[in-house]
Structure 1
């Protein structure tokens, strides 16, 4: 590898340095503290009763996150034809999640993920193919599940809340969800077309778009992305249906387990006896929340995620203060662990691969 390539990789990694965990932590905690300061009082705290029953369900919530990570690891092994061991797959997934946690949701960890895979032994073309395959499968999950849940629950149920006996049509959240879903659908269509039908046409489109004055300085990167797409397409079009089915099953298990975390957290404190329909509604609203987070400019959706949680899931909780407390607990289980694990793993990984 030449010096210019190494320097560009180091520059890319500089954007995901461990010190950047400070920003999402401060933003998220500040948002929760603000909401708690407005809503929490002695009566609010008395509504939260911790018991051995609560501990049991919180352990189940952690197990859900483990299932989620195992699903991602299994998918990575499938997409790489088991080139990576479970240990190496764990390391890559944790680095990938750490990168996603400290960058805005719309950016994610995709660009750096190619570098992670390449440094762990995959060629650049193969690394690009794997990363783009994960994007394809993730978007496929959202694009299929969102309309199915709307059909099952009705859009009025999904975007109307009843907080403290006051019905509220959440127009802003609806718009966020629609914009996020349209962005995801557009990206999925372009990615599918480029990967499986016309990769050279997609590269041409990218180069044409990046001729615009405001985007011209990134034209070189767009050219490399187009080349990666062409290389990825050669890899992916040879894969059989069974290969994609196994990868999608792993994707389905991973995302579904992640969404069940909130359901389990609410069960831990038994705020009410939720029916099956209510559980599906809670699950569906988390899917919509994740689509909304796509347009959040903050790292990992910090602040925005906690606010949406309290507004969008508040009707399933006895008060706004309790909703804010549950939002913090949700993030402690599903978000902050990746920041801590990444801080531990990333410096060692950089030292191992860039020490020379």
Structure 2
């Protein structure tokens, strides 16, 4: 870990916030130019009541981070305090915001946790279990949403697509594939965590002997070792702690997905959508999350605005989707770039400069 400290610190440099901001603003500007409908901005209303719902959107993001902090303290047996938990989450989110969504901040999260005084083995275990809990939330929530609302409404962009066979609906097919991948990943991690971690590591190394993927064998070996660590740390955990960790996970993700609902109420009023439509917006965001995972841009910048504008356009007046998408990212994405830029210098000074002087 020490040998990689320089590379990791370079990868989280605050200077890297420039690229995702430029991409996001460029795509937003291009979409506004292409999709602008004369008079559409007059449909947006902002009153004193709107200010309350806008602030609520920020509060929901704060609740999301608070849930992550609770989970982190539970998984580390409260060996890190609230301030250290806040720093880790902000650094984690910042790294996710400046790297492609498929990579995210997980790859360096072990480094952050370890530097806050948690042993390397447990830091690795914590990161793996957080990933497991995130996937478990999605796997349990997605079928419930489909059962409540139905797949036709969630995966369609308009009324004209309701009659399409399921295999011709690209969003439905894409989501099913993504769900299958998540389910397979969760089952594999569950088997390794709770039953046979060393056996799973052996299978991984055997698979990665194939010529086409042999170059990734060192990474597979590292992942297998991480799995063994995680199993040793968490296999004998009491049910109560697992429920606490999953409850914090559910709180975080649910709060995150309700941000869009708060923004719709902000600009179009509380009566614009009924309760079932609010649940439908929530469900569509689950699908959007799958799409954003494959984005090649840092933090899904640009791609997220585009998907938001198209996938949720049925719930908002024509011509206002891009504006709402911009505010969505303003609440749920850009703050982490700014907070991370302030947290990183202080964190580096504390853990590297000060210790070096000592």
1:178-220 per-residue CA deviation (whole Å, 9 max, x = no partner) reads 2322221121111111111111122112222333345434433
Q: Look up the match of 2:151.
A: 155
Q: Structure 1 CA distance, aligned partners of 2:212 and 2:10?
A: 24
Q: Structure 2 CA distance, aligned partners of 1:156 and 1:185?
A: 22
Structure-to-structure mapping, 1:302-321, within 5 angstroms: 302-319=301-318, 321=319
Number of matched residues?
Answer: 349
Aligned-residue offset at 1:166: 5.4
2:138 counterpart of 1:142: yes
Q: Look up the match of 2:236.
A: 238
Aligned-residue offset at 1:160: 1.7
Q: Look up the match of 1:101.
A: 97
Q: Structure 2 CA distance, aligned partners of 1:39 and 1:311?
A: 11
Say what the alpha-carbon RMSD is for the aligned residues.
1.8
Comparing 245-254 with 291-300, which one deviates more in the overlay? 291-300
Structure-to-structure mapping, 1:270-309, within 5 angstroms: 270=268, 273-309=272-308
Q: Structure 2 CA distance, aligned partners of 1:347 and 1:221?
A: 30
2:54 counterpart of 1:67: no
**5+ unaligned residues in a row in structure 1: which ranges?**
none
Q: Secondary structure at the match of 1:251?
A: helix
Q: Structure 2 CA distance, aligned partners of 1:172 and 1:27?
A: 26
Structure-to-structure mapping, 1:87-126, within 5 angstroms: 87-126=83-122
Q: Structure 2 CA distance, aligned partners of 1:201 and 1:25?
A: 44
1:293-317 per-residue CA deviation (whole Å, 9 max, x = no partner) reads 1122221111111111111100101
Q: Structure 2 CA distance, aligned partners of 1:96 and 1:289?
A: 21
Change (3 A) 1:57 1:91: same
**5+ unaligned residues in a row in structure 2: which ranges?**
none
Contact 2:151 2:172 in 1 (8 A): no
- TM-score by structure 1 length? 0.93
Q: Look up the match of 2:262.
A: 264
Contact 1:13 1:112 in 2 (8 A): no
Q: Look up the match of 2:30.
A: 34
Contact 1:65 1:334 in 2 (8 A): yes
2:92 counterpart of 1:81: no
Q: Structure 1 CA distance, aligned partners of 2:154 and 2:251?
A: 23
Q: Structure 1 CA distance, aligned partners of 2:96 and 2:120?
A: 20
- TM-score by structure 2 length? 0.92
Structure-to-structure mapping, 1:40-59, within 5 angstroms: 40-59=36-55
